[in-house]
Amino acid sequence: MTYVRADEELAELQRLSQEYQPDVTGPLVGERQPSTAIASEYALADPVYRAKTAALPQRYSHYRTCRGDGRCGWRAVAFGYFEALVHIGDAAKFLDEETRLRSLNNILNAAGQDPYVYEDFTDETFELMRKISASLQTGNADATLLACFNDPVIEQSVIQHMRMLTAAWMRTHADVYEAFVLPQSVDEFCASSIDPYPAEIEHIGISALTDVLLKPAGISLEISYLDRSIGDEVNVHRIDADAPEGFGSGTIRLLYRPGHYDILYKPEDIQPPMLPPQPAPIPTYFQFAPQPMDHVYDIGASDFITMIPGMSFANTHAGWMSSSPFGSSGFAPTTLPCKPQPPAPAPTPMYAPPPALPPPPPPPAQISHASDFATPSLPPTAMPNHMPHMGNDPFRSSIWELERGFPAATTQCLPFQTSIFRNSHFNTAHFLNPDFQPEEWTPDQDYIVPHNNHRSGRHKSISSGSA
């Protein structure tokens, strides 16, 4: 009896699960919203989820939902791809990508697809690219993209294009993927897990789609797994593009909850790309080379240099800059710190004590100073401490280093103040100088000049002026 009932129950459960339709309401791709919404969604969930979702907004400021109809993974990657192109904000990049994707029709042919079948799908992709690239001019590319991805015809075609690219790429690169799809063959795997219209993307599909679509475009993919594994933050899996960090064309960030993908954003993904003047990379050097920097600059500190605001590889003196902490001999004397003094060194009889040196404003270029390395917590104002440290400093600039106590015969004390010198980085007042010290305006001296025969002080000069 019980056996029969269990059987019936199972059949009933089987029927229910077959008839189960996931909640497929909502837009195909939603508006961007603050990621705190995810945390409130999980407010009543178990502690692991609560902790992980609570930590999420610290890393990702915004997110965007994708409709959970079983194709959300494809949709999220496809949308992210277009959004990354929009973020670059360059119509030429769209043209590049259209050209590249058109050339990929060859692998569709090689995989046995019929041009008249796939052209309907690819044409929608290219039309979408042109539409968005045109709307870059009017500044509503984001809105156009969102509207197009909520048009089922466009969205299904683009996803189908991605699907066919992925399957064709895997079939034409079977040797790369065959080990990952065992016991199936690559062909069987594609037929069962990539080709069918409702098939959701899974790990192999994601990595193949990244290989064919994202990596060559310089776009990275980052997936945060929100599951019940131990930990109080989501696990992040990253697939980097063929470009070093910071030089790619952006990153697509996905939030994976078992069976579902949404799109995440860091604050820097949202702000328009041009506003903060970033160190301008020079794309020609590295665009697709696997180890690009090595051929261009052999600088140990290259990463550090790029972090300096206003610095870039365009700077032909980058090599000189990096010499300061790591000991190239040529310019050792200029790396010697000098005691900060007012830039006009004329001895001034002052009755007031010399004004306390105000902490210099954060220099536009925080130079790789030896002391900064030794004691990284020290603010740049710590320059005066520099001299005594010289002997036992862990960073010895050069074997030609001057003796300790050598008079501070430094650049700013030198007499030759030609305009060429003053405007060069050999001048400590130049922000590229390792001993950068901004010129300060010392009111005392300005006021003293006309009156220094009789008076010696600011207050008197003012009073005499007003008298």
Partner 1 sequence: MANKRIMKEYAEVTNNPPAGCKISLENEGDMNLWNVVMDAPSDSIYAGGHFKIVIKLPKEYPFKPPVLNFKTKLYHPNVTNDENGSMCLGMLRPDEWKPPNKIADVLKLVRTVLAAPQPDDAVEQGIADQYKNDRKAFEKTAKDWVSKYAK
**Interface pattern 86-125 for partner 1 (x via CB under 8 A):** ---------------------------xx-xxx-xx--x-
- Beta strands per DSSP E along 67-218: none
- Interaction residues for partner 1, span 30-69 (CB under 8 A): none
Q: Looking at 34-42, 173-181, 196-204, 358-366, which segment touches partner 1 (CB under 8 A)?
A: 196-204
Out of 36, 150, 156, 424, the only residue in the binding site for partner 1 (CB under 8 A) is 156
- Number of residues forming the site for partner 1 (CB under 8 A): 18
Decide whether 153 or 399 has the Cβ nearer to partner 1: 153
Among 4, 16, 44, 153, binds partner 1 (CB under 8 A): 153
Integer Cα distance of 162 and 194 in angstroms: 10
> What letter would DSSP give residue 319?
H
Long-range contacts of 205-208 (CB under 8 A, 24+ apart): 205/73, 205/166, 206/73, 206/77, 206/239, 207/239, 208/166, 208/169, 208/170, 208/177
Which residue, 200 or 440, has its beta carbon nearer to partner 1? 200
Instruction: Tell me whether residue 204 or residue 448 sits nearer to partner 1 (CB atom).
Output: 204
Q: Name the residue nearer to partner 1 (CB basis): 153 or 274.
A: 153
> CA nearest 293: which of 302, 304, 280?
302
Question: Does residue 169 belong to the site contacting partner 1 (CB under 8 A)?
Answer: no
| Cβ contacts of 190 within 8 Å, gap of 6 or more | 167, 170, 171
Shortest Cβ 295–partner 1 spacing (Å): 43
Closest by CA position to 87, among listed 237, 218, 255, 223: 218
Tell me how far, at minimum, the Cβ of 66 lies from partner 1, in Å. 17
Is residue 198 close enough to count as binding partner 1 by CB under 8 A?
yes
* Contact stretch for partner 1 (CB under 8 A) within 8-16, 194-202, 223-231, 254-262: 194-202
- DSSP state, 277? -
Q: Which two tokens stand for residue 414?
A: 């030198």
Nearer of residues 62 and 71 to partner 1, judged by Cβ: 71
Residue with tokens 């042109």: 130
CB atoms within 10 A of CB 112: 8
Beta bridge partners of 224: 236, 255
The binder of partner 1 chosen from 27, 33, 188, 197 (CB under 8 A): 197
What is the distance in angstroms between the CA of the first residue and the CA of the last residue of the chain? Answer: 116
What are the DSSP calls for 271-330, one per residue? S-TTSS------HHHHTT-SSHHHHH---TTHHHHHHSTT--TT-TTHHHHHHHHHT-ST
Distance CA 235, CA 253 (A): 12
Determine the residue type at 178. Answer: E
Query: Smallest distance from the beta carbon of 105 to partner 1, in angstroms?
Result: 13
Interface with partner 1 includes 276 (CB under 8 A)?
A: no
3-state secondary structure at position 387:
helix
> Smaller CB distance to partner 1: residue 157 or 411?
157
- Quick one: which segment of 57-65, 94-102, 189-197, 255-263 binds partner 1 (CB under 8 A)? 189-197
Cβ closer to partner 1: 156 or 341? Answer: 156
Q: With CB under 8 A as the contact rule, which of the stretches 73-81, 150-158, 295-303, 413-421 interacts with partner 1?
A: 150-158
The length of the chain in residues reads 467
The residue range among 41-49, 190-198, 208-216, 279-287 that interacts with partner 1, by the rule CB under 8 A, is 190-198
**Which residue number, 112 or 290, has a Cβ lying nearer to partner 1?**
112
DSSP state of 362: P
Distance in angstroms (rounded) separating the CA atoms of residues 457 and 351: 7
Whose Cβ is closer to partner 1: residue 38's or residue 154's?
154
Give the Å distances, CA to CA, from 276 to 268, 272, 273, 280, 417.
10, 8, 7, 11, 34
The residue from 160, 224, 368, 410 that contacts partner 1 (CB under 8 A) is 160
Q: How far apart are CA 429 and CA 441, in angstroms?
A: 12
Shortest CA distance to 35 belongs to which of 5, 12, 60, 3?
Answer: 60
What are the beta bridge partners of residue 256?
A: 225, 261
- β-bridge mates for residue 220, sequence order: 251
Q: Which of 35, 53, 144, 157 binds partner 1 (CB under 8 A)?
A: 157
CB of 166 to partner 1, least distance (A): 13
Nearer Cβ to partner 1 (124/435): 124
One character per residue 392-421, x = contact with partner 1 (rule: CB under 8 A): ------------------------------
Could you list the residues that contact partner 1 (CB under 8 A)?
113-114, 116-118, 120-121, 124, 152-153, 156-157, 160, 164, 195-198
